[in-house]
Structure 1
Amino acid sequence: MEHGGHGGHGMMMDLPPFTLSRGLEFSGEPFFLISCSLGIVLYGWGVLRLRRRGDAWPVARTVAFVTGVLSVALVMCTKLNDYGMVMFSVHMVQHMVISMLSPILLLLGAPVTLTLRALPAAGRGRKGPRELLVALLHSRYMRIVTHPAFTIPLFIASLYALYFTPLFSTLMGSKAGHIGMMVHFLAVGLVFFWPIMGVDPGPHRPGYVMRMLELFAGMPFHAFFGIALMMASEPMIDTYKNPPASLGIDALSDQNAAGGIAWAFSEIPSVVVLLALVYQWYRSEQRQARRKDRVADRDGDRELEAYNAYLASLQARSGR
């Protein structure tokens, strides 16, 4: 992995000025290319297994998951990844997509539910992949890492502790460090959004109002981070202090652009997640109503009769 050290920056010295078409050229970063391909293949295998068995799987979930994987590939397997090493604004686009947009789409694809339904049960007394996954979902570890007291500070620290300490420059010094950082962003996004709007079963499922509060607890810090970068009067991140001359950019204005991107992006997921939450809420209310109707049909509205009898008894008592 060493070859990607500062020599990597040397290779990138001759990058021409950034344009969107140049940024979107395919670069085929191996780690993310293999991971994304594998993700889509395994998901497809799960859906096919269910279909063959005669079980349905919502098309919308498949679309959401595949779009989520492609959004990761878009920022990691294109020249955006090369430009992101030398331009703060492009790096910020990568960071925001992979930590705020990709996780939401992946979670809407319900990959855990699909895995649980597609994997065969190991049989009595034996432990197969399915049983291990169930055990993990119910583990104390999962309860901790998906708890808002853990996810919200982690979400915030991933911004401030990373960018405003020397850690960022260290990680950006090697390809392995850079990839590790991007994987971290994706993981943090997943554990942050999972209890809030994930379709999959999880250890924490607070009520809908609590979920909205959790969502809004993290976002102002994101916006403030963006504003701090926009207001700064000098470049704050060592890695991006001296951009290659071939790019023809000014470090400070590039940093201001990065701040604007971070600030604007904190609004987009909020809207998407809110819409998903309201829809899920509406659906669960409908399910509840249908369940009550079914119960009423079955027992001839016993609940209502009991309530009327209760009212009658109150009236009799007050009439005494």
Structure 2
Amino acid sequence: MYALMMLVPPPGGPGGMTGVMWMPTLPVTVSRLFAVHPQPIPLLPLLGLGLLLGYGVGVVVLRRRGDAWPVTRTVCWIVGVLTLELMTATGFDGYGMELFSVHMVQHMTLSMVTPIFLALGAPVTLLLRGLSGGGRQRRRIRWGVLRVLHSRPAAFLANPIVTGLLFLFSLYGLYFTPAFTALMSTMWGHNLMLIHFLLIGMLYFWGVLGVDPSPRRAGSRMGAAAGPVARIAEMAIPVPFHAFFGVVLMMASTVVVSFYAAPMGFLGVTALGDQQTAGGIAWGFTELPTLLVLSVLFLQWQRSDARHTAAAERKALRDGDADLVAYNEQLQQLAARDARRGR
């Protein structure tokens, strides 16, 4: 199903052989997409296993200390790692080197699905809690993490405008420039690009979901921008640009990305037809992640309102609802004044 081949650049790309990689030799089927894809150096699959192991260690540290950790967060992290493994250790990675449509599924998943579940796992919160209450070395590491979170570079990167621009640059700045061909022509460049998708997605959804501590909560302006309503708007703004990118690929009469200009004959597709499929995937893929994020933000909004209501009720019990009594007295005074004037 796979053969070890030399990676050579497409016509018009940079010259010279650029490494080896296991490439598909049979047409695409569902079973082949989900089959294991052999790789000379499985960098991303190993990264996924490392993320799973590190998170597990953090949960064990808390449990041994007697601290609770939500099971839902652990499940979200596991789901995120599984989607990472699915896109990098199976046929999606192999066929993604030959078909633009398969690559687009890989891109959309790594930038819009995997980061959502990883962010919902609250890894920064787990790290900070795991480092608290330990020895001097742990306290130093925790202090270093907090210092990074409250630094100016972190605040700049976490700014909604910056994260939104970086998120969109992964589409327009990559596929409509020679950068994509240059990266895909080497095994290391290919892996670097996939890591880029994952990191940009994590940075974007880290701020939008607001589950973990972030620089947005360090100052008053950023803290205000982290409200549920503002984050819903932040999530909605890039959607039209995503859709437009997909429409451009679907409507183009020529091949936009030269790397996929000559797909292997055994795949049974044309470059233009495959590009149109990729555009349709980019256009329609945003629906599910957007719905998932909006659902999470809506639940956060409800819980926030419930907390405010509960706090107000506790305050009323403590002071005899002094605010309501004062408000009613004010209304009575106004009514009495109007009555005197009416005479």
TM range (shorter): over 0.9
Q: What does 1:120-159 align with in structure 2 at a 5 Å threshold? A: 120-121=132-133, 128-159=140-171
Looking at structure 2, the residues matched to 298 and 156 of structure 1 have their Cα atoms a distance apart, in angstroms, of 50
TM-score, scaled to structure 2: 0.86
Contact 1:64 1:108 in 2 (8 A): yes
1:257 equivalent in alignment to 2:262: no
Match of residue 27 from structure 2: 17
Do the aligned partners of 2:87 and 2:106 also contact (CA within 8 Å) in 1? yes
State whether residues 9 and 85 of structure 1, in contact with CA within 8 Å, keep that contact through their aligned partners in structure 2.
no
Q: Which residue in 2 is equivalent to 1:117? A: 129
State how far apart, in whole Å, the 2-side matches of 1:314 and 1:123 are: 63
1:27 equivalent to 2:27? Answer no
Contact 2:19 2:186 in 1 (8 A): no
Matches within 5 A, 1:165-204: 165-204=177-216
Aligned Cα root-mean-square deviation (Å):
2.2
8 Å contact kept, 2:28–2:267: yes
State the percentage of identical aligned residues. Answer: 47
Unaligned runs of 5+ in 1: none
Q: Alpha-carbon deviation of 1:62? A: 0.7
Secondary structure, aligned partner of 1:86 = coil
CA distance in 2, matches of 1:113, 1:300: 37
- SS at 2:316 equivalent: helix
1:211 is aligned to 231
| 8 A Cα contact 1:121 1:130, kept in partner | no
CA contact (8 A) 2:21 2:187 kept: no
Give, in whole Å, the separation in 1 of the partners of 2:330 and 2:131: 50
Distance (Å, rounded) in 1 between the aligned partners of 2:51 and 2:21? 30
CA distance in 2, matches of 1:142, 1:10: 37
Contact kept in structure 2, 1:122 and 1:131, CA below 8 Å: no
Moved beyond 6 Å, runs of 4+: 122-126
Given that residues 14 and 246 in structure 1 are in contact (C-alpha distance below 8 angstroms), is that contact kept between their aligned partners in structure 2?
no
Q: Which moved more, 1:199-208 or 1:69-78?
A: 199-208
Unmatched segments (≥5 aa) in structure 2: 9-16, 217-222
Measure how far apart 1:275 and its partner are.
0.8
Q: Could you tell which deviates more after superposition, 17-26 or 309-318? A: 309-318
Which residue does 1:236 correspond to in 2?
Answer: 256
One-letter code aligned to 2:27:
P
Give secondary structure in 1 for the equivalent of 2:113.
helix
Figure out how many residues of one structure are paired with residues of the other and give that number. Answer: 318
Change in 2 beyond 3 A, CA 1:10/1:57: closer
Change (3 A) 1:268 1:291: same
Among 241, 266, 286, the residue aligned to 1:266:
286
Range 119-128 or range 308-317, more displaced? 119-128
